[in-house]
Amino acid sequence: MTLIPITETDHDVEIDLRYATPDNFTGQPVYLHGDCYLHPEAEKRLRVAIDLAARQGWKLKILDAFRPSQAQWKLWNHTPDPEFLADPRRGSPHSRGVALDLTLIDKSSGETFDMGTAFDAFTPLSHHGNTDISPLAQKNRMLLMGLMTVAGWDFYRNEWWHYQLFDSRDYALFGDDDLPRTMTAP
């Protein structure tokens, strides 16, 4: 199985892979570059979500997608917290190419929607349904969840930004060897 490249041009999304920068919970790049990939089935459902968002004047901003198994180990070794990270021995839906971390942006202004916490805020405030965030952030999370659910994605209750295919554990794991170039930083 070949993973499909996701690009801003071909998919009309904004791509800001946080693990390709130091702007993530590890404080250093985990990826060597910001190449974005998904499993073909996930890419099909992404296109549905993109279309639904565009009809509302929104755009999807992808913060993470496929994550090589090697990168999952780096994250786990830094912060082995099963509330927010999949144990790499089990495998992450990201390492199967069937998960996305994302948010919404307003297509006309380019402003990112307020979701109440930053991406990868490992706190109960990041949980879906948390009412300790502003009403606007609660509404924005519900908009994202509704859009992604209608497009065929399941959510992870601890992370407002994480969506995966419903049968995510049925897909094979992928690593750096399955890519045109190594993604995980040494």
Single-letter code of the amino acid located at 14? E
Q: How far apart are CA 86 and CA 78, in angstroms?
A: 13
Structural element, H or E, at residue 38: strand 36-38
Q: How far apart are CA 138 and CA 90, in angstroms?
A: 31
Residues labelled as active-site residues: 159
Number of continuous H segments (helices) and E segments (strands) in the chain? 4, 7
Contact criterion met (CB below 8 Å) for 95 and 88: yes
Q: What is the DSSP letter of 57?
A: T
